[in-house]
């Protein structure tokens, strides 16, 4: 089972935590952008963008951790366009705040999870098992 996590640099610790929890269960992180510094040139941006787009395409599902930046929202759009499973995470109910929410958060293709990071990890594991008939070792 392959996954990608989209978020902003201010959520690096949360992204790493969710990634480590999933990898410990046998999931594969298609690209870990948290291992790199912020881009400093246009060429860096191009290379990172290509790696992130490839990672979304290669993933079975993506997780978007809010608050997220513009790049994360583009990755959300790429995932939706590729019919990937999308899980949108918020520690609070900001997803449903009409004045700050996004239209795309409310598409039927987007699953929302509001709560703790540990709750999100459990949700992801149980959701993947139901959706993909996933076992720890392989897809069935």
Structure tokens at 80: 């939706």
- Bridge partners, residue 62, by sequence: 4, 86
In 3D, which of 52, 61, 66, 59 has the Cα closest to residue 102? 66
Structure tokens at 107: 């598409």
The pTM for the full model equals 0.89
Architecture of the 2-132 domain: 3-Layer(aba) Sandwich (3.40)
Per-residue pLDDT 10s for the chain (140 aa) are 999 999 999 999 999 999 999 999 999 999 999 998 888 999 999 999 999 999 999 999 999 999 998 999 999 999 999 999 999 999 998 899 999 899 999 999 999 999 999 999 999 988 876 665 544 444 33
What pLDDT does 36 receive?
A: 83
- Domain ranges within the chain, ordered by starting residue: 2-132
What pLDDT does 138 receive?
A: 44
Task: Please give the backbone phi and psi of residue 82, each rounded to the nearest 5 degrees, phi first.
Answer: -95, 5
């Amino acid at each position: 089972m392959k996954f990608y996590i989209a978020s902003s640099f201010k959520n690096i610790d949360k992204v790493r935590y969710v990634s480590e929890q999933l990898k410990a269960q046998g999931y594969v992180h298609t690209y870990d952008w948290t291992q790199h510094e912020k881009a400093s040139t246009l060429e860096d941006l191009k290379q990172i963008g290509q790696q992130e787009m490839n990672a979304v395409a290669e993933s079975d599902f993506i997780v978007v951790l809010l608050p997220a930046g513009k790049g994360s929202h583009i990755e959300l759009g790429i995932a939706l366009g590729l019919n990937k499973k999308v899980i949108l995470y918020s520690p609070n109910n900001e997803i449903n705040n009409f004045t700050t929410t996004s239209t795309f958060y409310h598409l039927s293709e987007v699953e929302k999870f509001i709560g703790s990071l540990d709750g999100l990890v459990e949700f992801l594991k149980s959701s993947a098992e139901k959706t993909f008939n996933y076992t720890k070792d392989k897809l069935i």
